[in-house]
Chain A
Amino acid sequence: MSIESRRRPELCYIDVGGTFTDAFIVDAEGEYVTGKAPSTPGELARGFFAAIGAAAESWGMTVEEVLRSLKVLGYGSTVVLNAILTRSGRTPGLITTSGFEGILLMERGKQTWVDLDRAARLHPMTHRHNSPIVPRRLIRGVTGRIDSLGREVIPLYEHDVRAAAEELVEARVDAIVICLLWSFLNPSHERRAAEIVRDVVRERGRQVQVVTSVDVSPMIRELPRVNTAILEAYTGDLARAAFQDMQGRLEERGFRGQLQIMQSTGGLAPAVYVKAVETIQSGPAGGVIGGRYIGEIYGFENLITTDVGGTSFDVGLVSEGFINVNREPAVARMLLGVPMIEILSIGAGGGTIARIDPLTGRLEIGPQSAGSEPGPVCYGRGGTEPTVTDADLVLGYLDPDYFIGGRIVLDAGSARRAIRERIAEPLGMSIEKAAEGIRTIADAKMRDAISGLIATRGFDLSDYHLLAFGGAGPSHVADYTKGLSLAGTMVFPFSAVFSAFGAASADYEHHYTRAVNVIVPPRASDEEKLALGRRISEAWEELRVRGSRQMEHEGFDRARIQFRPLAMIRYGRQLNDLIVTSPVDRIGSPADWDRLIEAFEQLYTRVFAVAAKYPQAGYEILEVGLAAYTEKIRPKLRFEAPGLSAPPEDAAKRLRPAWFEGGWQETAVYEMSRLRPGNELSGPILVEDPTTTLVVPPARRIRLDGYRTIWLEEER
């Protein structure tokens, strides 16, 4: 029996991509192996087993041996997102506040343009309404009003609710969503309505799920709240069914552990408890979490993750150790009231198309993409429009015979032809110049996305380390970081499976929020501070109880559960609040209070400007939150003391002509996996790997550290 087979795999994370499914397996010691297999849409499990098998091999284990030993198998599920995108969910009905039955047709106006680019947004002829998930005939209004302070204006007309419920049940809905104005602040009407609906459902002996908005999305703004509740009702059953099916298939092959799903906010949660709407952005979260984990390993608090795929360029942010979260996301042109890791995605990837705008004569890149079918011209699958990958190939950066380890043989001739005919000749420049132009603009878009994301948060680039991964990341990172005054740029030998690595490093985490509506007068007295502080402490305590109850229920040891108290703070009457991580667990004294406010003032000044402060207006805390989490085994990056700066003989491959600084240069090519810690190399060089190619232009150099992380630096 070999050493390998005595390994005890504990955790496996599966990242399902458009083309490949990656498995990342970690054992009790934190050692890891990775495996890749073609994705199998429609029958995920097959891809799972293939990828696990590929990874298990390198430990000399079988799929069953691994599955039997695993405590946790996690994956990023796209079932909810797909159901939304393909409009293939259940049939919910909606009960809302009387007079608001048209809310889904009105869409607040904003949903007619929210996903459009600048030109289309400014061009109202292109705006469109979406057809609502709940048609008007399945929407009922009920009388009853709560006001902005949570007071009852009109009591709930219970006979309205009963009548509405009966009609909707008769109309054979699968679920009934209840969303009433201000329910997040005073849920009494919404909860009472839910009771009545459940009674009706029971009386009729029907199976109808009842969803209340306050339980799915306890946030101000009725449109995002109702959208979120509707999506939960629309996709909840499908998600649960899919997760159960997956659990079953895994168990058939020996799995006895817990199936967990990546949540849009970046924590893993057991499939049996996770809310459907919290998995909408399950997929791409992994990369950002990986970024945070790398940050912990290296002791960096601020990181930018950049993932260059076939069709898009995804940027994520970790600031002060926290992952940036978007609290007002829009998915499929629906504004949602459920937080998601903020990932800026622009149409600039390998398959992105280059064309010339006839009116302005401008060379434009994307957002259209050739995707993987037909794909870039050089794939030879019928693509006719030149793409970024074609430009990479024409400039000699890609080896036509070593793309994805040679799985696809690239046709450089057709790529040159396409660029000549469609770009070079119209612009009156050489093919190389044109290809260079395509790359320059694509890389500039990526660079702008990065600096834009930082700028729009008011942050400073020089505080951030940038991580480049994804198939095409390493071939563009040198250019899209050019001119950015970053703290450092890192590329990883396991770039292509970085997302799976990241997800495997995720904690188990749940987020809770609760409305408190605390209004703080300017120059509050100590008495006021204490009284208001008590209300906030009580809310935190309530959430702590909820959190530990759920996590214990999910099988975690109470002692290991940790909490992070949050407060959403703003100046008096501002409409936008900042999420402040409280420096204190509870507010027991005016001093505690001042520390919380000081934390807000500091964050505010950093995000906006000193001149933008306005303490004279007092403060408002409408919501408090709590993150409950517990750590688990994570993949360890093996450290090896750096050795010689010269790379081993066998790392060097042959020379290849590549286009740098406006001319062809015979460029040294290295095999990434053969480079050792401590190795240093100066550009121009190309560093290859079956799944990616790192392009190091002149005046840039690389250095491998003890973790074999590749640092891309300016030539000294």
Chain B
Amino acid sequence: MSPGSLKDRLHERDRRVAELGVYEERLDLKEGDPIAFELLYSRILQSVTSAHEVARLVSASPMSRELGEIIFGLYTPEGDAVALSRGLLIHIHTMSRMIKWMIENDYQDDPGFNEGDYYFNNDPYIGGAHCPDQMIVTPIYWEGELVAWAGGLTHTPETGGSEPGGFIPFARSRFDEGLFLPCVKIAENDRIKRDLEILVERGIRSPIFWLTDNRAKITGTQMIRQEIKGLIEPFGADNFGKACREYIEDTRRAAKRRVRTVLFPGRYREVGWRGSVMPRQETLLHGPVELTVSTEGRLVLDYQGMSPAGRHPFQGTLPTIEGLVMNVLIQHLFYDLKHNEGVLMVVDLKVPEGSAGNPPSIFYPTALWGITYGAGLASGQALSRAYYAQGYREEVHATSALSCAYTAGGVDQYGRPFGAHNFEFAAAGLFASAVADGLDTAGVEFNPEGEMGDAEIWEQVLPPVYLGREIHIDGGGFGKYRGGNGVLSLYQVWGTDEIDVGGFGAAPIFSAPGLMGGYPAGAVYMWVGSRTNIRQLIEERRPIPAGEGEDPETPDFVRQVAATWELVHGHNRVGTPARPGDLFTAMTGDGGGFGDPIERDPELVRRDLENKVTTPWTARNVYCIAVDPDTLEVDRQETERLRAARREERMRMGIPAQQYKARERERVLCGDFPPPVARMYHAVLGASEVFQSAFREFWDLPEEWRMPDPDQLAQEMA
């Protein structure tokens, strides 16, 4: 084993990788005895998987126990991932970053590393995506030498931020997001420090989630430590270390081969959007991606042109966008490999400094990821086009749902302080593929094992009661294959007089783009009805709404319940006091569609009508299908006629691209854009040379043209 401090070893490792472009030059162990090599790996993988299975049972958080929002990993002494359990694979490298950060910052000398130490981190600028991503790592020693790290991560539903529930839709700085403990030693000699627990018990609304999650992670990492020592014994530490490095190299090679086999080389471009809804500073956020699939099997993802960071939570740290991209690649390209540092080595990420994907300082809040999520999903669409070109249609998919949910805090039905969010959006609507409809209520990008949890579990954690939990009718983007529909739930405030209810989502934009002619999923939204007459309705046994119903223009609950109804377009709502009897909805988001909607097989529409997940209106107006609403019989002839008519209509409405450009150019020349768009153009054109020249070229703009600053204009007007 190479001598010197961990810091020296880390630098040596960086030099080696940079110079050779490989992690380990020779696979001696693999070539020597391929079978024993695979066996050792399966034992390692099993140790992290067992930790995942056991640990979640310790937690009081439905995120961990029910939804599996938890992951464990084994790391080299320098902090490179060797093997990861199932679960939140978006965090494939998060704990690596934490370990490396501690090494770089001389933790080895002070506070020092010892067996039985447990370090905690939830600072997303060190590792993680936001305050709720909480990780614990512990060193594994053999004969006095640190030979590996075991780590575990959970997503906790409450962080003590300025609003309850960990997602802070209106955070203006990091300091609104809650309690950060950056790489803090929380346990020694396998015992948790009580004083740090009291810090949490008195620092956040529902300490039980945080503190039992810690217990879960300590339980899991202890299991890994014990198992790994058992594995080292027969092999010796040096062989074990060599094997770990070979697993990473083995993966790097397999990943490279995979890229060369299944993706068509070339340059792919997509754009993701999100928006900041901070009052009076509404800004569209730009998340372009250019994917280059190189001939020799590398993937370059360039986010040049991403909006600059701002004082809003709709942005992410560098680790966030890295995680999102790796997560997309694992789910769609590397799903069957050994998941470790090796998969990161075939990818180059270029995220401009100062952008909303790589903020200039830790001051910037990142609670909602925002544009990094949009850009991450766009990367998946780019990948899909590369699959399509190479002929693998079965892997081609549109974008999966933007996730949103409600948050609440106050005093729960047991009289205890609480703060939490409902995480049913872990089973939102999935993307349509090139060969099938997207799955309804099935998944979300950051955790492939979609799970919404039973309503009875959520009602134990959050006081509001469900009046309905339905498939979001017509939610998924329309297309030859439609996007998956998410969940739309209707809640009644109940069981407490002390509760704030809020929501988090995005701007009022199309949430999940479609692909190759498919429509995007619509905007997300939240309804809130206060001062309702629900008591009276109940007394008189009149109908109680269960959801939106078939007509989103006037939802059932608005028709049936007299109340002050507020529509929150974009789903972002600051936590606001609510009274028993108030109603509100929350939705999870839906998937993007694929292909021209008028090519949709009428049989699929008939099935959707039968399952009540689409409406006769949509069948006729979007899919141009004539179907009898009662018998659900399709009139083929009439359908053909409707579709022919739609094509004629398109010929009438569509104008030649050059003509369209000439018309739009005028708008661009005088910078005539609504504020959210104007702010975006002004910021991005100012920040990115590349985007600016592309923009000028496309619109053929004169040298002197500048995008005016809308806010400055406004001031001058005043």
Contacts and interface: CB of A to CB of B under 8 A. Distances in A.
Direct contact of A and B (CB under 8 A): yes
Interface of A: 98-103, 105-110, 112-113, 118-125, 127-129, 135-137, 141, 143, 145, 147-149, 151, 153-155, 157, 159, 181-182, 220-224, 359-363, 427, 437, 440-441, 444-445, 448, 451-452, 455-458, 483, 519, 571-576, 607-614, 617
B442 to A, nearest CB: 5
Given A363-B34, A611-B187, A129 B440 contact: yes
B66 to A, nearest CB: 7
Contact of A122 (B50, B86, B219, B610): B86
B494 A147 contact: yes
B35 interface: yes
A179 to B, nearest CB: 11
B456 interface: yes
Given A608-B58, A612-B58, A222 B456 contact: yes
B455 A222 contact: yes
B478 to A, nearest CB: 19
A396 to B, nearest CB: 20
Contacts of B495: 147-149, 151
A106 B546 contact: no
Contacts of B466: 99-100, 181
Given A99-B547, A452-B50, A611-B191, A181 B456 contact: yes
A338 to B, nearest CB: 16
A573 B412 CA distance: 12
A455 B46 contact: yes
B541 A157 contact: yes
A461 B440 CA distance: 43
Nearest to B85: A118
A361 B38 CA distance: 11
B448 interface: yes
A122 B335 contact: yes
B176 interface: no
A574 B59 contact: yes
Contacts of B54: 455-458, 607-608
B470 A360 contact: no
Contacts of A107: 441-442
Contact of B65 (A99, A109, A360, A576): A576
Given A455-B46, A574-B58, A614-B215, A519 B414 contact: yes
Interface string B327-356: 000111001110100000000000000000
Contacts of B628: none
Given A105-B611, A154-B538, A110 B35 contact: no
A691 B613 CA distance: 55
B120 to A, nearest CB: 13
Nearest to B187: A611
A617 B35 contact: no
Contacts of A118: 86
Residue among A143, A181, A611 with the highest chain B CB neighbour number at 10 A: A611
Contacts of A455: 46-47, 50, 54, 223, 227
Interface in B195-232: 208, 211-212, 215-216, 218-219, 222-223, 227
Interface string B604-617: 00000011110000
A122 B46 contact: no
Interface string B545-568: 011000000000000000000000
A448 B541 contact: no
Contacts of B455: 100, 181, 222
A136 B612 contact: yes
A609 B222 contact: yes
B443 interface: yes
Interface residues of B, number: 98
Shortest 8 CB-CB distances between A and B: which pairs? A99-B468, A109-B427, A99-B546, A123-B335, A109-B450, A119-B336, A575-B65, A576-B57
A222 B543 CA distance: 23
Nearest to A617: B208
B266 to A, nearest CB: 22
B449 interface: yes
A127 B457 contact: no
A110 B58 CA distance: 20
10 contacts: A99-B466, A99-B469, A106-B469, A110-B427, A121-B449, A123-B448, A222-B456, A361-B34, A444-B39, A458-B219
A98 B492 CA distance: 14
A99 B59 contact: no
B453 A128 contact: no
Given A113-B449, A136-B610, A451-B46, A611 B219 contact: yes
B449 A110 contact: yes
A106 B475 CA distance: 14
Contacts of A576: 56-59, 65
A464 to B, nearest CB: 16
B257 interface: yes
B212 to A, nearest CB: 6
A699 to B, nearest CB: 15
B460 interface: yes
B53 interface: yes
A576 B190 CA distance: 23
A611 B86 contact: no
A155 B611 CA distance: 28
Given A148-B456, A573-B208, A608 B219 contact: yes
Contacts of A613: 215
A614 B449 contact: no
A145 B450 CA distance: 27
Contacts of A100: 455, 466, 468-469
B546 A98 contact: yes
A119 B457 CA distance: 29
A119 B223 contact: no
Nearest to B35: A437
A575 B494 contact: no
Nearest to B251: A360
B123 interface: no
B103 interface: no
B395 A363 contact: no
B216 A221 contact: no
B506 interface: no
A440 B53 CA distance: 26
A220 B460 CA distance: 10
B258 interface: yes
Contact of A612 (B53, B218, B440, B612): B218
Contacts of B395: 125
Contact of A609 (B218, B430, B538): B218
Nearest to A143: B544
B158 interface: no
A106 B66 contact: no
B322 interface: no
B490 interface: yes
B99 interface: no
Contacts of B634: none
A444 B50 CA distance: 16
Given A112-B439, A222-B456, 18 more contacts: A99-B546, A100-B469, A101-B612, A106-B469, A108-B453, A123-B336, A124-B442, A127-B443, A135-B610, A148-B413, A148-B495, A220-B454, A220-B457, A224-B454, A362-B34, A441-B39, A573-B212, A574-B60
B674 to A, nearest CB: 36
A224 B453 CA distance: 11
A170 B413 CA distance: 42
A610 B441 CA distance: 38
A452 B60 contact: no
B60 A571 contact: yes
B382 to A, nearest CB: 16
B184 interface: no
A151 B532 CA distance: 21
A106 B58 contact: no
Contacts of A106: 427, 440-441, 452, 469, 471, 487
Contacts of B621: none
Nearest to B257: A359
A112 B167 CA distance: 28
Contacts of A99: 466-470, 490, 546-547
